C-alpha cells in the first residue's frame, strides 16, 4: 500500500466505514468555501477505508487561528436537521466498539404526537432522544449507574428535550439560512491533525479525520475540543468567534454539549468516566 494513504479496518459485526467515508466527503465539500481541510477518501467499504495520509507538523498559535476560522466555515456549510446523516449514507448509526451513536432519519415517529418531521426537532430534543438516553440505558444495563443516577441523567435529558439548553447557531450558520451546523461529531484533539508546512492542509492550519459527521450544533464540536484539551485552544476559539460569533452564554453550555461524549466514554471504557457524567448531570439537572 502506498505511503501516502492510511488504511483502516473494522471487523466488528456492526461496522460500516462507508458512513465515516461519507462524513469525510461531506465535511470536505466545505473546503471550496474556506472550510477546514479533511482527509480525502480513496475507497471505502463497510469494513475497510482507505484515505489520504495527512502530513503533520507541530501545533502553533497561527495554525490554531487558521483552524478556528476554517472550522467556522465548515460548520456554516450547514445541514438540514439536527442528527441528519451525511448524504450518500443510509446507515442508522455510527458503531464504535459496543456502542452505536444514532443519527436521526427522516420520518421519525414521536409516540405522543404521531409522525413528526425531523426538521421540527430542536437540538435538545434530538440530542436527548437519539444520543443521551440510548447511552444512559446502555450504562444502566452494564451496571455502571444506579437507579438514582439514571433518574438524574433522565431529568437532564428531559430538560434538554424541553429546549432549556437550546441556543442559536453561530452567526455564519444563521446567515446562510441553515437550521443547524455541519459538524464533525467526534472532534477531540486526536482527530484534529496539525498540518505540515507546505502541505495541502497548511492553508487551514489543520485537517479533520475520523468523523461521526451529522447535522448538529456547532457548540458540540467546540465543547469536544475542550473536553480532553487541545493545543492553543484559546486562539482557535477566539478565531472561530471572530469569524462566526457564538451565541451569548456559550461558555455556560460547554458541559451540556460534553455530556454525550462523556456518556459514550462510559459505555466504551466503563466506570472511569461515570463520575464526570454524574457531575455534569448534577450541574444541569436543576438550573
Residue 248, C-alpha cell as written in the block: 451569548
C-beta of residue 19 within 8 angstroms of C-beta of residue 92 = no
Is 112 in a helix, a strand, or coil? Answer: coil
182: enclosing H helix or E strand: strand 181-183
First to last CA, the chain: 54
Model confidence at 91, in pLDDT bands (50, 70, 90)?
Answer: confident
- What is d(CA 91, CA 85) in angstroms, rounded to the nearest whole number? 8
C-beta of residue 5 within 8 angstroms of C-beta of residue 42 = yes
Q: For the residues 216-230, what does the mean pLDDT come to?
A: 97
Q: For the residues 264-282, what does the mean pLDDT come to?
A: 96
C-beta of residue 86 within 8 angstroms of C-beta of residue 214 = yes
Model confidence at 121, in pLDDT bands (50, 70, 90)?
Answer: confident
pTM of structure: 0.94
- With a cut of 60, say whether residue 142 has pLDDT above it: yes
- With a cut of 90, say whether residue 206 has pLDDT above it: yes
Domains of the chain in sequence order? 55-285 (3.90.1200.10)
State pLDDT tens for residues 19-77: 999 999 999 999 999 999 999 999 999 999 999 999 999 999 999 999 999 999 999 99
User: What integer best gives the mean pLDDT of the chain?
Assistant: 93
Per-residue model confidence (pLDDT) at position 286: 83
Per the listing, cell 505540515 goes with: 196
Per-residue model confidence (pLDDT) at position 110: 53
Per-residue model confidence (pLDDT) at position 1: 52
Judged by phi (left if over 0) then psi (alpha if -120 to 50, else beta), residue 207 lies in beta
Which of 32, 68, 27, 66 shows the shortest CA–CA distance to 182?
Answer: 27
- Computed on alpha carbons and rounded to an integer, the radius of gyration of the chain in Å comes to 18
Model confidence at 13, in pLDDT bands (50, 70, 90)?
Answer: confident
Please list the residues that pair with 56 across neighbouring strands.
Answer: 195
Residue 36, C-alpha cell as written in the block: 477546514
Model confidence at 86, in pLDDT bands (50, 70, 90)?
Answer: very high
- With a cut of 50, say whether residue 111 has pLDDT above it: no
Per the listing, cell 460500516 goes with: 16
Say which residue, 111 or 218, is predicted with more confidence: 218
Q: For the residues 88-97, what does the mean pLDDT come to?
A: 86
Residues constituting the chain = 287
Which of 238, 250, 211, 218 shows the shortest CA–CA distance to 101?
Answer: 211
3-state secondary structure 212-277: CCEEECHHHHHHHHHHHCCCCHHHHHHHHHHHCCCCCCHHHHHHHHHHHHHHHHHHHHHHHHHHHH
Amino acid at each position: 500500500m502506498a505511503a501516502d494513504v492510511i488504511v483502516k479496518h473494522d471487523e466488528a459485526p456492526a461496522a460500516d466505514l462507508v458512513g465515516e467515508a461519507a462524513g469525510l466527503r461531506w465535511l470536505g465539500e466545505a473546503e471550496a468555501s474556506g472550510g477546514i481541510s479533511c482527509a480525502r477518501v480513496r475507497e471505502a467499504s463497510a469494513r475497510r477505508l482507505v484515505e489520504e495520509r495527512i502530513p503533520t507538523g507541530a501545533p502553533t498559535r497561527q495554525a490554531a487561528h487558521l483552524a478556528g476560522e476554517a472550522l467556522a466555515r465548515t460548520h456554516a456549510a450547514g445541514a438540514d436537521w439536527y442528527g441528519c446523516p451525511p448524504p450518500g449514507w443510509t446507515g442508522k448509526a455510527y458503531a464504535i466498539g459496543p456502542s452505536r451513536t444514532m443519527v436521526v432519519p427522516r420520518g421519525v415517529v414521536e409516540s405522543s404526537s404521531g409522525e413528526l418531521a425531523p426538521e421540527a426537532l430542536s437540538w435538545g430534543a434530538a440530542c436527548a432522544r437519539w444520543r443521551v438516553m440510548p447511552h444512559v440505558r446502555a450504562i444502566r444495563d452494564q451496571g455502571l449507574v444506579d437507579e438514582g443516577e439514571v433518574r438524574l441523567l433522565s431529568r437532564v435529558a428531559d430538560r434538554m428535550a424541553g429546549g432549556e439548553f437550546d441556543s442559536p447557531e453561530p452567526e455564519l450558520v444563521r446567515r446562510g439560512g441553515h437550521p443547524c451546523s455541519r459538524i464533525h461529531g467526534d472532534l477531540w484533539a486526536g482527530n484534529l491533525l496539525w498540518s505540515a508546512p507546505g502541505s495541502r492542509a497548511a492553508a487551514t492550519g489543520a485537517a479533520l479525520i475520523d468523523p461521526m459527521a451529522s447535522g448538529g450544533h456547532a457548540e458540540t464540536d467546540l465543547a469536544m475540543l475542550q473536553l480532553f484539551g487541545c493545543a492553543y485552544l484559546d486562539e482557535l476559539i477566539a478565531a472561530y468567534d471572530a469569524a462566526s460569533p457564538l451565541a451569548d452564554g456559550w461558555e455556560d453550555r460547554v458541559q451540556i454539549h460534553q455530556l454525550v461524549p462523556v456518556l459514550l466514554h462510559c459505555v466504551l471504557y466503563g466506570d472511569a468516566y461515570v463520575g464526570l457524567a454524574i457531575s455534569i448531570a448534577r450541574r444541569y439537572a436543576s438550573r
